[in-house]
Every structure is written in C-alpha cells, then in structure tokens.
C-alpha cells in the first residue's frame, strides 16, 4: 500500500502498478549488471550490454503494464509506443543515467509516470543503488522509502536566496550543445552556492523534492526523463516550469524551491539556456 493521501482510488491503483514495475525493473538492472561491465567478454562492447539491459528493463515494464491495463497508451525511451484507448498513457524511462550505469556510478534510476487525459497523475522513480524509491500521485503529496523506517513525506527546502542555493544541472551528448551549456554554467556559478552534475534528471528532480538541492535545470530532456520526477517535485512543494509561461520541456526544464525558481529561471533565460 502507498502512504499518499489521495481520495482517488484509480490514481492509487496506477501508482501501485508503477511501483511494482519500477521495483522489478530496478532489480533486473541491478542484479543483471556484470561486475566489471567495462570488460564484459561476451559482447562486442560495454555499450551493447547497457543497451540490452535498457531494452530488457523497458520490455519488463511495458509487459507488466500491458498485462494489467491492455487498453492504456505507452511512450518509452527504447521505442515502446502505443496510442491506447483508455485515456491513460504511461511514460517510461527504463534506465535514466545510462553513463552512470555503465561506469558503476550509483546515480541511475527507473522512472515511470502515468498520465490521464494528458495530465500526470502518478509517478515513481526508483534508484536501486541508493536503496530509495520516490513516488507521488496528483494532490497526494510526495513520498519516499529507503534506509529509514517506513515511508517519509518529502518537502523541498525552506526559502533561501539564490546566492545560497545548491543547483544541479545536466549536459547534452552533442558537443556543440554541451559547450553552450558549459558557458551558461560558468556564468551561473558565481551567483549560486555551488553547482552539481549528477547525471540523472529523474534523480535530480527527486533530490529537489527531498530537500537535497535548492534547484535543478537542464536543456534537452525528453518526456520520459522528466515525467515522474516533475510530478514528485511539484507534490513536494517545488515549482517547475520551462521558459516563461511554458511547462517543463526539452527547450528548458527548471525545478526549484518557490524562492529560487523565478530568479533562477530568469537568469537562465537571460544566459540563453
């Protein structure tokens, strides 16, 4: 059972499906990763192993969802796409933080969100190497389970000015875009407490929710990168958005405490982020 406080049993049902699928996929990825992926002898390259694990995790997730809710739509990073007829669509990132996974870094996650009539209503991010799972339903708050006893409700950090904000970001794989993003970060660093680069958008969004970051921004995200984490951050009291008047998107995603969001977003727009 969940600890979210929702009066909508349907959304709670969707959340439970997402939690089970994320848990199973996380176990598959954690337990199926070769101990030394860089020298995996049975494949032509370590990237092949990661790709196969990624695809296997998405197949597990979409198979479970299809068994439970065959009329729903699907959108997955590894190519799963189905329109559906129920008004519900699942947005799936089976392995967010692929490079971290390749290198044995712990910051990788499984991210699953459910949308109803185009609005996100449930989301789960499981970070197996952290031993933590973050989840939320619309209007029910954001919660996490981990090494502590039971589930705890998440809340973003208390108000602090931008110059005392710890902010995370990410960088694109395309060299030219990455260079532009580095210039934005260079201009931003003197104006905040410090900048982090975690390597998983889903985990960064959940860290804003958990009060481990004051803010996070990135350009170039896909729907599956941010769907679950965006809901979790908002349900924890954070503000999320993109360019002024726009929702989070590939053009710009920002999530931050209410005090930090507007000044951070305005600076990013000024800097060309």
pLDDT digits (tens, 9 = 90+) for 29-81: 999 988 766 544 444 456 677 888 999 999 999 999 999 999 999 999 888 78
pLDDT band at 1 (very low <50, low <70, confident <90, very high): very low
**Residue span of the structural domain in which 81 resides:** 9-153
175 lies in a domain?
yes
Question: Does 209 score more than 80 pLDDT?
Answer: yes
pLDDT digits (tens, 9 = 90+) for 132-161: 999 999 999 999 999 888 899 999 999 889
Question: Does 203 score more than 90 pLDDT?
Answer: yes
| Distances in whole angstroms, Cα of residue 35 to Cα of each of 100, 127, 218 | 14, 18, 31
> In the predicted model, what is the mean pLDDT of residues 191-217?
98
For the chain, the distance separating the N- and C-terminal CA atoms, rounded to the nearest angstrom, is 41
Query: 167 and 147, same structural domain?
Result: no
The CATH code of the domain that includes 21 is 3.30.540.10
Q: In what order do the strands lie in the sheet with 81-82?
A: 81-82, 73-76, 88-96, 109-116, 119-127, 132-137, 142-145, 151-153
The β-bridge relationship of strands 215-218 and 166-169 is: parallel
Identify the domain boundary among 113, 135, 153.
Answer: 153
The SS3 assignment for 44 reads coil
pLDDT digits (tens, 9 = 90+) for 220-268: 999 999 999 999 999 999 999 999 999 999 999 999 999 999 999 999 9
Query: 100 and 225, same structural domain?
Result: no
Both tokens of 203, joined, read 């985990």
Alpha carbon distance 240, 26 (integer Å): 26
135-145 per-residue burial string, b: 16 or more CB within 10 A, e: under 16: bbbbebbbbbb
Cα dihedral: 227, 149, 216, 245 (round 10): 50
């Amino acid at each position: 059972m969940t600890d979210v406080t929702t009066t909508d049993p349907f959304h709670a049902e969707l959340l439970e499906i997402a939690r089970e699928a994320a848990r199973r996929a996380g176990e598959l990825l954690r337990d199926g990763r070769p101990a030394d992926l860089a020298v995996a002898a049975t494949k032509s390259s370590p990237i092949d192993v990661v790709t196969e694990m990624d695809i296997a995790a998405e197949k597990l997730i979409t198979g479970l969802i299809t068994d439970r809710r065959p009329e729903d739509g699907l959108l997955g990073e590894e190519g799963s796409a189905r329109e559906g007829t129920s008004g519900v669509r699942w947005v799936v990132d089976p392995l967010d933080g692929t490079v971290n996974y390749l290198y044995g870094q712990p910051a990788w996650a499984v991210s699953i969100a459910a949308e109803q009539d185009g609005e996100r209503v449930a989301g789960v991010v499981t970070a197996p190497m952290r031993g933590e799972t973050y989840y939320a339903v619309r209007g029910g708050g954001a919660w996490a389970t981990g090494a502590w006893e039971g589930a705890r409700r998440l809340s973003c950090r208390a108000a602090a000015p931008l110059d005392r904000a710890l902010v995370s970001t990410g960088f694109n794989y395309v060299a030219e875009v990455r260079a532009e993003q580095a210039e934005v970060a260079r201009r931003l660093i003197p104006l905040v407490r410090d900048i982090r680069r975690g390597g998983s958008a889903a985990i960064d969004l959940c860290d804003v929710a958990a009060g481990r970051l004051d803010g996070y921004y990135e350009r170039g995200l896909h729907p599956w990168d941010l769907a679950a984490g965006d809901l979790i951050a908002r349900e924890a009291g954070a503000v999320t958005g993109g360019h002024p008047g726009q929702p989070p998107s590939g053009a710009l995603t920002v999530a931050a405490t209410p005090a930090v969001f507007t000044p951070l977003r305005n600076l990013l727009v000024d800097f060309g982020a």
